Amino acid sequence: MRYFEDFKPGESVQLGSHTITRDEIIAFGRQFDPQPFHVDEEAARATIFGGLIASGWHTGSLIMRLFCDGVIGDTASLGSPGIDEMRWLKPVRPGDTLSLRMTVTDCVPSRSKPDRGIIRTLLELSNQRGEVVVSIKGMNLIRRRPA
């Protein structure tokens, strides 16, 4: 189990990857973001994207999954107050293999609650060509190691 003290600014690690399918893109789009370029292959061809692309909420959620599997699932996490920024930098298309890098940017003990601290991270999702497609500046509340 990882605690607040186990995170250090400057730590940068490669986490897992996921290959996104056409069916996943369409299923997510139908549920949460039914714009033509997320749900309809043919209509998508006529848009500025020239074809089907994943919703940015889908790729953000995939970042959460890879972050969960690689870090948070084995960390004394107390949830998150939010994120400071998310950038959708490049389109994500069916068949793209997406891999996540986490860089720890800041670790601050809580002033009001001595049992926890906040870590800030830069989460970068890259495709198989090494292009960063989505970036997130995240925050997580993490329990301090019990004395």
| Beta carbon nearer to a second copy, 13 or 27 | 27
CA 30, 36, 42 angle in degrees (round to 5)?
110
Taking the complex as a whole, the smallest distance from the CB of residue 107 to a second copy amounts, in Å, to: 20
| Beta carbon nearer to a second copy, 58 or 101 | 58
Angle between helix 22-32 and 56-70 (nearest 10)? 110
| Beta carbon nearer to a second copy, 10 or 87 | 87
Taking the complex as a whole, the smallest distance from the CB of residue 2 to a second copy amounts, in Å, to: 14
* Listed residue (59, 26, 62, 27) closest to 44, CA to CA: 26
Taking the complex as a whole, the smallest distance from the CB of residue 48 to a second copy amounts, in Å, to: 6
Taking the complex as a whole, the smallest distance from the CB of residue 87 to a second copy amounts, in Å, to: 4
Q: Determine the Cα–Cα distance for residues 7 and 4; give it in Å rounded to an integer.
A: 6
Binding site for a second copy (CB under 8 A): 28, 31-35, 37, 48-49, 55-58, 60-62, 64-65, 68, 72-73, 77-88
Beta bridge partners of 77: 142
| Beta carbon nearer to a second copy, 60 or 94 | 60
Mapped onto helix, strand or coil, the DSSP state of residue 31 is helix
